[in-house]
Structure 1
Amino acid sequence: MPASGPQDYPHQLQYLEEQLPEEDFVLLAESFSGPTAALLAAKHPANLKGIIFVATFLRAPNPIMAKLASLIPVPKLLNVPGARTLLKHQFLNSPEAGISDTLLHDTLRGLDHKIIEARLKALENIPEFEFKSEIPAIYLQAEKDTIVPASCAEDFKAVFSNFEIKRFPASHLLLQSYPESTAKIMADFLSSLQ
């Protein structure tokens, strides 16, 4: 997703379409990028062979939390006492976790807070998804995710007819919390598309 400029979903889709290869491809859509991948699927590109959704949504997952988070800049949140512990609980909670809470904290500190604020604002205007798609899709669900609740996975069933959910006892950063397990599932999904 673009690291600058407008962050609303129509602009995200335009940015994505400019990056797409001419050959067959599979999309990986994590968190904020889920609606963008669904918007692309609605256009039925012939070379889109599958989508892997990870801890994402098709409608604002928690509008009240997003509104509150948009009012407090990320750098200020990171300076609150106990922020490191809270971040670890919210994002990483697995013995397989591939990154440390220090790396997570430092990465979040380095993010452009204006981009984060713009993306939180974009959650207020997610398009309606009223199309049906036969594109194979899998959803890797983080069952302990308080940012994107597990119930968000259910919305995808109404759009994608060839759809499967794989559940993990993880927080929001599922791929980082379970790198080996999720890599195996993704590899199996890719093999099933051939």
Structure 2
Amino acid sequence: MTESHENLLLLPGLHGVGSLFPPFISAMPSHWTTHTFEYPLDAVRSYEEWTAIIRETLPEREPFVLVAESFSGPIAVKIAATPPPNLRALVLTGTFLSNPVAPLPKWLVRVAKPLLKIAPVPRFILRRFLLSPDSSPQLVQGVFQAVDSLPKTTMVDRIVSTCMVDVREDYRRLTVPTLVLIGRRERLIRPRAVAEFSRLRPDVQIAEFDAPHLIVESKPQESVTAIAQFLQQLSTSEA
């Protein structure tokens, strides 16, 4: 059976850059190609604005697969809800459809926003909610560097925007084949938010991993295997 070429557009998490993706990309077959959209570090935009911006960068002719991590998940869902004709599939990893943390009144989020811009993010918070005790030193250091490179104002605005987002109706309307990667050691996204993927769309394919929030960084080979199987099934159904 001939292996099909795959063109993947990667949307990173809240840090907004592709610095954590190399092990994931290295695990991919040689006949796959990738492009990572990187968010400007000092750019503050709403989810609607990012959706419009990224939509303008999508491949115009070649079929592609949209792979979105964490913060970028709602953007990818909004794009896929009214998909370009060459969007072949959607892969969501360690992400959410609505407020991923404990529900908070929107007024409280707005009040807390200025305070969050002052306090630094403790290292133990990053390790607890993004990683696991057995995460490699390279990944831990990479996460610290990615977070440190993001201006505090940008980080807080992105965090606040995740507390306001709700793309559940867009997700219900999806017609694009979709795979959702879920980490069984997820600590950042509350269980109810994780469960929304299968509750709202029982037909969507789910792959679970013994991994924390950063799934494709923690389990690159396993993640690629799951995506490859999903895309192979899609190719078979299309034949």
- Please identify runs of 4+ aligned residues in structure 1 that moved more than 4 A: 66-70, 94-98, 158-162
RMSD across aligned positions (CA): 2.7
Partner in structure 2 of residue 189 of structure 1: 230
Partner in structure 2 of residue 42 of structure 1: 81
Counterpart among 139, 144, 156 of residue 117 in structure 1? 156
What does 1:71-150 align with in structure 2 at a 5 Å threshold? 71-73=115-117, 76-78=120-122, 83=123, 85-93=124-132, 95=134, 97=136, 99-130=138-169, 131-150=172-191
Is 1:175 matched up with 2:196?
no
Change (3 A) 1:127 1:90: closer
- What's the offset of the Cα at 1:73? 3.6
Partner in structure 2 of residue 19 of structure 1: 57
The TM-score, its normalising length taken from structure 1, stands at: 0.82
- Aligned pair count reads 188
C-alpha distance in structure 2 between counterparts of 1:25 and 1:146, whole Å: 31
Identical positions, percent: 25
- What's the offset of the Cα at 1:147? 1.1
Is contact 2:130-2:213 (8 Å) kept?
A: yes
Is contact 1:52-1:139 (8 Å) kept?
A: yes
Secondary structure of the residue that 2:68 maps to in structure 1? strand
Change (3 A) 1:101 1:158: closer
C-alpha distance in structure 1 between counterparts of 2:135 and 2:189, whole Å: 21
Partner in structure 2 of residue 154 of structure 1: 195
Read off the aligned partner of 1:176 and give its amino acid letter.
Answer: E
- What's the offset of the Cα at 1:74? 8.1
Partner in structure 1 of residue 15 of structure 2: none
The TM-score, its normalising length taken from structure 2, stands at: 0.68
Is contact 1:141-1:168 (8 Å) kept?
A: yes
Change (3 A) 1:160 1:108: same
Read off the aligned partner of 1:55 and give its amino acid letter.
Answer: G
Partner in structure 1 of residue 3 of structure 2: none
- What's the offset of the Cα at 1:76? 1.5
Larger mean CA deviation between 111-120 and 88-97 belongs to 88-97
- What's the offset of the Cα at 1:13? 0.5
